[in-house]
Structure 1
Amino acid sequence: MPELTQAQRNSLAILLDSREERIRAQMDAANVARTVSAGPEASDMADLAEQGAEERMDDAVVDHYRAELGDIAAARIRLARQTYGVCLDCGEPIPYPRLQAYPAAKRCTPCQRRHEHMHAGPDGRR
């Protein structure tokens, strides 16, 4: 499998930038929504439970965004070190279409599946 061309690397760097901008905008919007929805206090147990569930969901979304921003930062480091597009597990090139779909990918598809399987919880979730 061929390594990435400079044009492909440049295209993927632009995709990383674009994805980071989108995530930061979504995080900003979530923070604004959280501030706005922090309005009146819950009036009963049902309202309190709903408010708690919404806060946990918001926290999970923000955690996901932070993890993705970390993946983007790590991808930029790999770009600078000329190791971008190489699977961290098997050392084989990550196919360009996979990187187009998820430019921060650190593993090829088979290794990513193996990684997810190994780190899944008892119910199949991570």
Structure 2
Amino acid sequence: MSHLSDAQLHQLRKKLDEREAELQSQVRGAREAAADQASGQAGVVGDQGDNATDRLQHGIRHVEMSRDIEELVEIEAARRRMDDGSYGQCVDCHQPIEARRLLAHPTALRCALCQGRYEQMHPSRLRDPG
């Protein structure tokens, strides 16, 4: 059973709902912008600088959309944990995750201590979308 009160769970669920709506809007906007750009540039011949700028902008949009989609998956997983009663429990040490950590990062899987260990063992790497 969760160590969080019903009021805290309600507040956290609301934060997840708000963030999901924001991310869905951003992903939808990015897809529309990419489609508009592709149709607007049909038949346009640019120089190498234009092409490089277009590739860079496309790469940035791709990384941003990938990050947003990944966060949407994390939100859905957090909701499943809320439904099955495991929300707020660290996946590594199985201890409760502090409420203030969850309020700051509602999709958190780990307590702050285990998250620090995880990040040391799994350093993030920058990815090249192209």
Same fold (TM over 0.5): yes
The runs of at least 4 aligned residues of structure 1 exceeding 4 Å deviation read: none
| CA displacement 1:39-84 (0-9 Å, x = unmatched) | 2235111111111111111110111011101110110110011000
Indicate the residue corresponding to 1:99 in structure 2.
102
Residue aligning to 1:22 = 22
Write out aligned runs for 1:4-23 (5 A). Answer: 4-23=4-23
Between the aligned residues of both structures, percent identity stands at 36
Structure 2: distance between partners of 1:48 and 1:111? 44
Question: CA 1:47–1:106 in 2, change beyond 3 Å: closer, same or farther?
Answer: same
What RMSD over aligned residues (CA atoms) do the two structures have, in Å? 1.6
Question: Hey, what does 2:49 align to over in structure 1?
Answer: 46
- Unpaired segments ≥5 residues, structure 1: none
Confirm whether residue 66 of structure 1 aligns to residue 66 of structure 2.
no
- How many angstroms apart in 2 are the aligned matches of 1:48 and 1:42? 9
Normalised by the size of structure 1, how large is the TM-score?
Answer: 0.88
Query: What's the TM-score once normalised by structure 2's chain length?
Result: 0.86
More relative contact order, 1 or 2 (CA 8 Å, 6+ apart): 2
1:84 correspondence with 2:104:
no
- Residue of structure 2 in register with 1:75 after alignment: 78
Cα separation, 2, equivalents of 1:29 and 1:67: 16
The number of equivalent residue pairs is 122
Where structure 2 has 5 or more consecutive residues not aligned to the other structure, the ranges are: none
CA distance in 2, matches of 1:55, 1:89: 37
State whether residues 42 and 51 of structure 1, in contact with CA within 8 Å, keep that contact through their aligned partners in structure 2: no
